[in-house]
Amino acid sequence: MKAVLKENPGRGFVLRDIPMPEIKEDEVLVKVSAVSICGTDLHIYQWNTWAQGRIKPPLVVGHEVAGRVVEVGRNVKRVQINDFVSAETHIYCGYCHQCLTGHPEICENLKILGVDTDGAFAEYIAIPERVVWVNPPEINPEFASVQEPLGNAIDTVLVEDVVGKSVLITGVGPVGLLAVGVARVSGASQIIVSDIGDFRLNIAKKMGADILVNSRNENLREIVMDATHGRGVDVGLEMSGNEGALRDVIYLASPGGRVSLLGLFDRDVTINLNDDVIFKKLRVYGITGRRIFQTWNIGSNLLKSGRLDISPVISHKFTLEEFDKGIEVMERRESGKVILIP
């Protein structure tokens, strides 16, 4: 089968003809219909410091997948041949303390699909049954492949409700853009979005943002305070991993408000905890992964109903062989979600 591999350390991926995966007793074989390229894939392509420490080439990369089950292992019970599926990419163990207490997303023995095990930039992928999500048949494969980052967005937005609340989102990469749509359909009264690029701000507008701020040349603090009559926002969602944006989002959260942190920082950061968090009684949540499978249920239902339309976020579509073109638009930050079709 065709597959895109991280074959050696260093920059880049290669397209190769490799043997089909052989499934274990608890796995299913999926014929891939669509995969979307994640920021994680980009980091593996660029071979950044994280990738150098984590990835053991050769590895089939990619994890945001939708496809059809063509074979099931002997011990598989829930998933059937011909099911239209996606995958929770956090392959949890099921027996550590976090797994037993309802938090498999932070499993002690976590393996990640396409990072620690062969992934989905291929014609076929083997997936453990316990992380398979069976999709409603109504969802198109491109949208279905985006449910993994959509789940990050859902948990970031909805760790507490947003009904009738003002929301500030700092950083609208693909997950931030999906978060705009989730906040909109979940009843946010006002959505303010900041980013350093107009391409993505324009998609945020289509996803339902009310106020767009290009933080390269506009003053986010002034604009938010004006728009909220000096109160600040009820909800802040930090999705950029930028230290300045983090300071802005906690400064701009109103007293008694809530902040969710999803963006990852490349070094330690400094914030004014006393004034901006403690004396304001802010609730601050760290978000990682998805709630398995609660966020999948929410995402699938919103997509199936058509209430959440994520088509503006899907900016590019290429064949699997054209993976380099997808990486290129992502490196230019002129993309929403990029989909590859095997």
Question: Which residues are known catalytic residues?
Answer: 40, 43
**In this complex, which beta carbon is closest to Zn ion, that of residue 247 or of residue 337?**
337
Note whether 233 and 162 are within 8 A (CB): no
Q: How many residues bind Zn ion (CB under 5 A)?
A: 8
Residue choice 93, 271, 277, 329 for contact with Zn ion (CB under 5 A): 93
Instruction: Pick from 96, 159, 284, 329 the residue near Zn ion by CB under 5 A.
Output: 96
- Identity of the residue, 47 or 243, whose beta carbon is nearer to Zn ion in the bound complex: 47
Among 5, 37, 38, 154, binds Zn ion (CB under 5 A): 38
Shortest distance, position 232 Cβ to Zn ion, whole Å: 31
**Which member of 107, 245, 303, 340 binds Zn ion (CB under 5 A)?**
107
Stretch that binds Zn ion, among 21-29, 33-41, 158-166, 320-328 (CB under 5 A): 33-41
Structure tokens, 106 = 């932070």
User: Two tokens at 340?
Assistant: 């590859």
The residue range among 38-46, 161-169, 275-283, 325-333 that interacts with Zn ion, by the rule CB under 5 A, is: 38-46
330 binds Zn ion (CB under 5 A): no
Q: How far is the CB of 112 from Zn ion (least distance, A)?
A: 9
**Shortest distance (Å) from residue 158 CB to Zn ion:** 19
Instruction: Please name the residues in contact with 268: beta carbons below 8 A apart, sequence gap of 6 or more.
Output: none
Binding window for Zn ion (CB under 5 A); candidates: 56-64, 78-86, 198-206, 271-279 = 56-64
CB-CB neighbours of 257 under 10 Å: 23
- The site map against Zn ion for 144-183 (x = CB under 5 A) is ----x-----------------------------------
Q: How far is CA 57 from the centre of its chain?
A: 24
Closest CA relative to residue 313, chosen from 195, 120, 176: 176
Q: How far is the CB of 171 from Zn ion (least distance, A)?
A: 16
DSSP-derived 3-state class of residue 302: helix
Helices H / strands E in the chain, number of each: 12, 18
Q: Interface with Zn ion includes 99 (CB under 5 A)?
A: yes
Least distance to Zn ion from the beta carbon of 192, Å? 26
Q: Is 70 in the site for Zn ion (CB under 5 A)?
A: no
> Helix 147-158 to helix 174-185 angle, to the nearest 10 degrees?
60
Give yes or no for residue 106 binding Zn ion (CB under 5 A).
no
State which residue, 18 or 93, has the beta carbon closest to Zn ion: 93
Dihedral over Cα of 219, 224, 229, 233: its sign: negative
Tell me which stretch binds Zn ion (CB under 5 A): 43-51, 113-121, 140-148, 307-315: 140-148
Report, in angstroms and rounded to the nearest whole number, the Rg of the chain calculated over CA atoms. 20
**DSSP per-residue letters across 221-278:** HHHHHHHTTTS-EEEEEE-S--HHHHHHHHHHEEEEEEEEE-SPPSS-----HIIIII
Closest approach of Zn ion to the CB of residue 125, in Å? 14
- Considering only residues 218 through 237, tell me which ones interact with Zn ion, judged by CB under 5 A: none
CB atoms within 10 A of CB 298: 21
Could you say whether residue 131 binds Zn ion (CB under 5 A)? no
- Residue 112 is a binding residue for Zn ion (CB under 5 A): no
Nearest distance, CB of residue 313 and Zn ion, angstroms: 14
Residues 10, 98: contact at Cβ < 8 Å?
no
- Locate all alpha helices (DSSP H) within 36-130, ordered by sequence: 39-46, 49-54, 97-100
Q: Are 263 and 240 in contact (CB under 8 A)?
A: yes
Residues of this chain that bind Zn ion (CB under 5 A): 38, 64, 92-93, 96, 99, 107, 148
